[in-house]
Amino acid sequence: MNNIYRQLCLDHKNMQQMLNAFEHLLEDLFGSNERDPNTLSLILDALDYFSVYPDKYHHPVEDLILARLLTKPVHDRNAIYEAQMQHEQIAATTKHMCALFYAVANDAMVERRVLQGASYTYLQLQRKHIELENSAIFPQMEQYLEVEDWKQIHKQVKQLKDPFFDQKTKNVYESLREYLTQTELPIQAFA
């Protein structure tokens, strides 16, 4: 299995954990009448992760792969087009979510039902996207991409490197993910 492919699979696993942790934080926020500043702070941290890590690393790499797949005789082009559109939709929706929660953090009036609706729509969009890629895109990567394709993708990934998103920055986001998901594990153990 190719290292880039392996990293994308790991990213999906990590993002699913973050989505679960994010959902728990939302339940904490919406489940009480009093606003806990710690919960809101953690929600903002999670949104920071979702707005930076996928957009700076994960989705650009996937976009290179999707473009490469479209040069192949793949059997599900519609799934590829859908995944590409979802990347744009996720980026825009994440910005919207950040704006809503930063407004709340700055004591602006945001209706609870608007915040809840946007939050759960966001969760659904993210999960639907990961499911689409896991079920329709990743199998096509395995089936159609050859060693030479992966070499070319690897070269392109090196050219994509954002100087502000080096390994140290990536480690910060990995630490944040570990911190936010560590509270999820005991909850699941008792479920």
3-state secondary structure 138-155: HHHHHHHCCHHHHHHHHH
Q: What's the CATH code, domain 3-190? A: 1.20.120.520
Residue 57 is predicted with a pLDDT of: 84
Residue 159 is predicted with a pLDDT of: 78
Greatest Cα-to-Cα distance within the chain, rounded to the nearest angstrom: 57
Q: Provide CB contacts within 8 A for 29, sequence distance 6+.
A: 35, 36, 39, 40, 43
Quote the pTM value.
0.85
Q: Which mean pLDDT values do the consecutive 10-residue runs of the chain (191 residues) have?
A: 89 92 90 74 91 86 95 94 96 95 92 94 97 97 95 87 62 77 50 35
Residue 114 is predicted with a pLDDT of: 94
CB atoms within 10 A of CB 184: 17
Residue 147 is predicted with a pLDDT of: 94
Interior CA angle at 23 toward 19 and 29, to 5°?
145
CA gap 188, 125 in Å, rounded: 23
Residue 120 is predicted with a pLDDT of: 94
Residue 186 is predicted with a pLDDT of: 43
**138, 120, 150: which is closest to 83 by C-alpha?**
138
